[in-house]
Amino acid sequence: MWQSFSKNSKIIIIALFALIAIILFSLFRDSSESINKKRAIEIIENQTIQKASVAEPYVYIYTEDNIYKVAKEAIDIEVLFDKTLVEYQDEGTDVIDILLLLVMISFTLYIISMIKENRDRQESLFEEHREEANASISQQNILPQLSRVNFSDVAGIEDVKEELEEIIDFMKNPNKYRSFDIRLPKGVLLVGPPGVGKTLIAKAVAGEADVPFFYQSASSFVQIYVGMGAKRVSELFNRAKQMAPSIIFIDELDAVGKSRGGMNNDERESTLNQLLTEMDGFEESSGVMVIAATNKIEVLDEALLRAGRFDRRVHISLPDFKERVSILKLYLKEKNSTVDIEAIAKMTIGFNSAALATLVNEAALYALRKEKTSIDTSDIEAVKEKVLLGKHKIQTFSVEEQKIQALYQSAKAVTATWLEIDYEKIGLVSSSFIPHHNEILSKTVLENELKVLLAGRMITQEVYGELFTNAKSDIHKAKLLSQQIIEEFAMSDEYFSTHAQVENLLQDASSEVKSLLSKLRVVVEDVRVYLLKNESITPIETKRILDKIF
């Protein structure tokens, strides 16, 4: 039976027996009666003493009938006892101490064996899972897709198509460009809010170029095991090079490409380093194009954005009125419908292409439940609130809110154009200003940017006599910019800044932009009308309106 117990069980049983023995021994070991000095002297003088045993901190007095103990310091042993009767016990040989030591050793051995066994088990499991993860890397998501999506399947991105046409032509006809020693950009970064079709655009590029398409979500690179993400990146690029010309699409790049340092973990950083190495390592002539998508370009590591990696950036904004019309036409093309597309486009300000697809699909389901043979405008109106308040929470505006927002954005467009602040497009729901990259900027330029951020607040307050919440984002940016001008760039008379200087800068900029807008009020109104009709305006169109009046 003893042989059937495991090693750990035997150690536990021995330790328990030792502990029980200590308890029993301690209970029966000391049966002596404790006495004081006076009582001890009486016993020594009146009774026959057989022996006296000294064991710190007591002296044990043995008589024929009993055993007594008295504090050693209370009596003088040499005076009261015959030397032949006194014996001294060695402190190190106490039985209980020995047993306690044995128990401690037993438990220590048990704990050490348990830790070692647990560590060995974890290492075994770790290696097993690591090997499984390693073996699966070459199998998971490394197979290319042949995209059947073309630009004809993507509506509302005409300006984006123009930027990508060059890349498609390069992949189709590389020799034409090589003869002029033109290099293919290594990477294209698609920047825009969720749902605007970044993945679909990448598939369309692959479909138009008729090349293999490798899709990978950046979050899938970040593994539990250190080094696995980097290996996955390496395998992906190797596979793409074997299939060149090809396209690698990395979705949600910010999941792995966040700025290094801070709270980043080692695995994410090693994965990012491998991605940077791979993008540096392949030649422009390799035929591999990396397309990545993000909606948080501000958090990306600077190394990803430098020249030679993502050389081209394509900003994709929410669709304006004309773009929504073309998107709705595309989604309704294969469906029986009598929908007033322009009316639906008017009522869906703030919808992205994914939300419009959901809207059309929900309308079709609604019409089917009502046993209709085609979709009409009432079906879309019936499900609009469901899409707005359901999983697609979309910012949209009432008619009155559209007027307020159009005035707000028109003031920004006019101010930016007048002060020569670069922007791509200003719409009812978004503004696309050209970001600065390692430029030397003057105080005048920064103050002009500050005025653009304050322009919307100034004009709406002037016209409506009210302040509105739509200024929240711009006011936040204006505060940060004014702090940078005063505190970070020290663009003031004093090197050490104060809060008052920041506030004065904001107030001065507000006064100046208010004065400017009063002179350009007619232009602002014309741009407002244009925005209400078209929902977005470019610098060229704003300048045309300005030139017509001035």
Task: Give the pLDDT confidence score for residue 439 in this predicted structure.
Answer: 75
Mean pLDDT of the chain: 80
Each residue's pLDDT tens digit, 247-281: 888 888 888 877 776 555 666 777 888 888 888 76
What pLDDT score was predicted for residue 416? 95
Model confidence, pTM: 0.61
Would you state the torsion angle of the CA atoms of residues 105, 109, 110, 111, taken in this order, to the nearest 10 degrees?
100
Residues 6+ apart with CB under 8 A from 418: 516, 520, 546
Instruction: Output helix, strand, coil percentages for the chain, rounded to the nearest 5.
Output: 60, 10, 30
Q: How confident is the model at residue 408 (pLDDT cuts 50, 70, 90)?
A: very high
Instruction: Check whether 476 has a pLDDT greater than 90.
Output: yes
Band of the pLDDT at 245, cuts 50, 70, 90?
A: confident
Return the number of other C-beta atoms located less than 10 Å from residue 354's C-beta: 14
Residue type, 272: L
Question: Above pLDDT 70, what percent of the chain?
Answer: 80
Span 461-465, average pLDDT: 94
Q: Where are the alpha helices (DSSP H) in 347-442?
A: 353-369, 377-389, 399-418
For residues 221 and 141, the answer to whether their CB atoms sit within 8 Å is: no
What b/e sequence results for 85-96 when a residue is b if at least 16 CB atoms lie within 10 Å of its CB, and e otherwise? Answer: ebeeeeeeeeee
Taking the C-alpha atoms of residue 212 and residue 253, their distance in angstroms, rounded to an integer, is: 20
- Residue of higher predicted confidence among 68 and 468: 468
CB 238 within 8 A of CB 270: no
More reliable by pLDDT, 432 or 190 = 190
Residues whose CB is less than 8 angstroms from the CB of residue 142 and which lie 6 or more positions away in sequence, other chains included? 214, 235, 236, 239
Confidence label for 127 from pLDDT (cuts 50, 70 and 90) = low
Low-confidence winner among 37-41, 199-203, 370-374, 461-465 (lowest mean pLDDT)? 37-41
Q: Do residues 189 and 310 lie in contact, with contact meaning Cβ atoms separated by under 8 Å?
A: yes
Q: How far, in Å, are 2, 98, 114 from residue 106 at the CA level?
A: 18, 12, 12
Name the β-bridge partners of 300. Answer: 258
Q: In sequence order, what are the residues at sequence separation of 6 or more whose Cβ sits closer than 8 angstroms to the Cβ of residue 373?
A: 336
CA distances to 8, 27, 28 from 102, rounded to whole Å, are 16, 19, 20
| Residue 13: predicted pLDDT | 62
Domains located in the chain, CATH noted: 145-315 (3.40.50.300), 321-389 (1.10.8.60), 399-549 (1.20.58.760)
CA dist 45 and 48 (Å) reads 8
- Which strand (E) or helix (H) includes residue 232? helix 228-242
pLDDT digits (tens, 9 = 90+) for 367-397: 898 888 889 888 888 887 776 655 444 456 7
What is the model's pLDDT at position 391? 42
Of 25-29, 145-149, 324-328, 403-407, minimum mean pLDDT range: 25-29
Separation between Cα atoms, residue 308 and residue 312, nearest integer Å: 10
Higher local confidence (pLDDT), 172 or 133: 172
Question: Per-residue pLDDT for 512 more than 90?
Answer: yes
| Three-state DSSP class for residue 246 | strand
Q: 138 pLDDT exceeds 70? A: no
**Residue 133 vs residues 68, 124, 127, 232, 272: alpha-carbon distances, Å:** 74, 14, 10, 10, 19
Decide which of 420 and 216 is more confident: 420
In this prediction, residues 385-414 reach a mean pLDDT of 78
* pLDDT above 90 as % of the chain: 20
Confidence check: pLDDT of 6 > 60: no
The letter for the amino acid at 306 is: R
Place of tokens 């293999």: 212
- pLDDT per position as a tens digit, 91-103: 444 555 666 666 6
Tokens for 59, please give them. Answer: 């002296």
Where are any strands of DSSP class E within 268-395? 288-294, 312-315
> CB neighbours of 74 closer than 8 A, spacing ≥ 6?
36, 37, 40
Predicted pLDDT of residue 371 = 87
Exposed / middle / buried, residue 146 (Cβ in 10 Å: 0-12, 13-18, 19+): exposed
**In the prediction, which pLDDT does 392 show?**
41
Q: How confident is the model at residue 140 (pLDDT cuts 50, 70, 90)?
A: low
- Distinct helix (H) and strand (E) counts, the chain: 21, 14
- How many angstroms separate the first and last alpha carbons of the chain? 106
pLDDT of residue 468: 95
- The predicted pLDDT at position 522 comes to 94
Contact at 8 Å (CB) between 197 and 157?
A: yes
Q: Cβ neighbours of residue 496 under 8 Å, at least 6 residues apart?
A: none
223 pLDDT exceeds 60? no
Any long-range contacts for 147-154 (C-beta under 8 Å, 24+ apart)?
A: 147/203, 147/204, 147/206, 147/207, 147/213, 148/207, 149/200, 149/203, 149/204, 149/206, 149/207, 150/204, 150/207, 150/208, 151/204, 151/208, 153/200, 153/204, 153/207, 153/330, 154/197, 154/200, 154/201, 154/204
In DSSP notation, 109-164 reads HHHHHHHHHHHHHHHHHHHHHHHHHHHHHTTSS-S-EE----GGG--S-HHHHHHH
Q: How confident is the model at residue 124, as a pLDDT?
A: 63
* Whole-angstrom Cα Rg for the chain: 41
